[in-house]
Amino acid sequence: MSELAASRVLSVGWPAAEPAQPSSGQPSGSAALSALKSIVDYIPTEIVLIYVAVSAALSDARSSSRAGQWVAFWVFLALTPLALWLLYAARLRAGSRALPLEPTRWPWPELAVATIGYAAWAFTLPGTPFADFSWYRPGLGTAVLLVGTLVLGLGAPLFAPQRSRFPETSG
């Protein structure tokens, strides 16, 4: 996700990491396939992997309480946009760009998508604290993850800023 945000700033033209834009020459299924392929870009794997490890460490088969897992969920939910911003800033710095300290320069669409993506994954994982709710079913978690990531993959290009397909020239 941070690569998508940074590529928007660092590259000229359309970054290769963005989902492919359908053209009249492509079969109609290509847009959906491209969106599904891009799902990996919209899930904050750095946060999800650590959350899975912490959540597993906090689970206790002898207790029905999931208080520790709830705390971990909320902490990692708050850390998701922070982690994405730090990765984004590091990539900009590596590209010899200034740190984006003003909120108007932050990659807001990517921050929101990453946070929603984290919540969808946390909702789906085995032993999720959402299992505390009587209406929760593992199948519902899977459906939320699949539909949510499809919607994110298809909808994210709508929130990307419009850019010219041609390199800017300095005059």
> How far does Cα 11 stand from its chain's mean position?
20
pTM (predicted TM-score): 0.67
SS3 category, 135: coil
CB atoms within 10 A of CB 39: 19
Query: pLDDT 10s per residue in the chain (171 long)?
Result: 555 555 555 543 333 334 334 444 444 556 555 545 555 566 678 888 899 889 888 877 777 777 888 999 999 999 999 988 888 888 888 888 888 888 888 888 888 888 888 888 889 888 888 988 899 888 888 888 888 878 877 776 776 665 544 444 444
Q: At CA 50, angle to CA 136 and CA 1, rounded to 5?
A: 90
Helices (H), 11-101: 29-42, 45-58, 67-94
- Looking at residue 2, its amino acid is S
Q: What is the Cα–Cα distance from 109 to 161, expressed in whole angstroms?
A: 9
| DSSP per-residue string spanning 77-124 | HHHHHHHHHHHHHHHHHHTT-----SGGGS-HHHHHHHHHHHHHHHHH
Q: What is the Cα–Cα distance from 70 to 98, expressed in whole angstroms?
A: 37
Looking at residue 153, its pLDDT comes to 74
Q: What is the Cα–Cα distance from 44 to 128, expressed in whole angstroms?
A: 17
Contacts of 78 (CB under 8 A, 6+ apart): none
> How far does Cα 113 stand from its chain's mean position?
5
